[in-house]
Amino acid sequence: MSNDREKKVILRRITRIDEELRSGRYPNSEELAAKMEVSPRTILRDIEHLRLFYDAPIEYDYNKRGFYYTEPNFFIKSIMLTEDEVKTITIYDDILKKSNDDKNDEFNTNFRKTIGKILAVLPEQRTKNLSFSPSEEKDFIFEPTVVCDGAIVQEINSAIINKEIIEVEYWTSNNKKYAMHTLQPIHTFFQKANYYLLAFKKDEQNKPGIFSISRMKKILATGKHFEIPDNFKISDWIKPEAEVSPKDNKIYLFELSFHKDIASEAIEKTYHHNQSVELKKDGTVFVSFRTTELYDVFRWVLGQGSRVKVVNPPELIAMMRKEVLRIHQYYI
């Protein structure tokens, strides 16, 4: 099968899997494999492809024995362009920006808007390194993407489904070397541009640990299996409604008020994926969202000066007051 033909077949399968997941029927790999006439292993690779390249929030429900979207409104919203095709239009955009032909200003502007719409619905991993940028100002929630070994991710997901104990060669920051860990893998999740594994370590059954998948060098199957306690809930350790830092499990409700002078600018932007935006009668814009990234939000708000007022949480208000007083000392 040619590469182009193979890509089309994979895309059709991914689209079909997306439809099955959105149906709410909790399909498993065997059922999907039977419908698409492929092996269950192929389906697992497709599901991992959805997770890695489309940020699909796919999890496995042990009670219903099937996969589902943790975000009910999620769907594949990607335009099926190859990386070379995306690069082509963005390179052409770069040429337009360097052009001094004022006669084409309206065309150039419309062209940039069109590219912006295309890139907005493409997976972030496919556009992160492209030269095109619709806005010179970056969102405050930003970190470079960490690339994970696809084979390792696949082995982890297979172990989770089969409830198999694995040996993991894992990089430890304290010792600055790889060490072997025996893990009972439970759940993978994505946050702060990285993939993490929630797992019990050997002889530590009271509390699961969180491990960065990008730090894993090798996965060894042991052939041994484990059982998850009946009273164990993933939601007790990871909150599905917002990003959770492995170092800070507290989710903050952020409420920010934008000055009316920048209302038109504020209401058009996306500050966080779970945000709520409201234009008030006095002309100000009220933005709220939930995340654990307290210090990232603090640094961003600080850079906005008097344009943004913090309404909530109290922790951020206290941090802003302290910083304002420190700055005030410089100008007394």
Nearest to 27 by CA among 37, 38, 16: 16
Tokens representing residue 20 in the block? 């099955």
Highest mean pLDDT among 17-31, 191-205, 223-237: 17-31
Task: Please tell me which residue, 184 or 99, carries the higher pLDDT value.
Answer: 184
The pLDDT of residue 182: 94
> What mean pLDDT comes out for the span 15-40?
87
The pLDDT of residue 23: 83
The pLDDT of residue 5: 61
CATH 3.30.70 for domain 252-329: yes
Q: Is the pLDDT of residue 8 over 80?
A: no
Contacts of 144 (CB under 8 A, 6+ apart): 128, 193
pLDDT tens by residue, 109-129:
556 556 655 555 455 444 444
Q: Is the pLDDT of residue 73 over 80?
A: no
> What mean pLDDT comes out for the span 198-221?
85
The pLDDT of residue 203: 75
Tell how strand 164-172 and strand 194-201 pair up: unpaired
Which numeric CATH code is attached to 3-69?
Answer: 1.10.10
Could you tell me where the beta strands, DSSP code E, fall in 173-321?
Answer: 177-191, 194-201, 204-212, 216-225, 252-258, 276-279, 285-291, 308-312
Which overall architecture, per CATH, does domain 150-236 show?
Roll (2.30)
> What mean pLDDT comes out for the span 178-195?
80
Q: pTM, whole model, 2 decimals?
A: 0.36
Q: Is the pLDDT of residue 254 over 70?
A: yes
Contacts of 306 (CB under 8 A, 6+ apart): 259
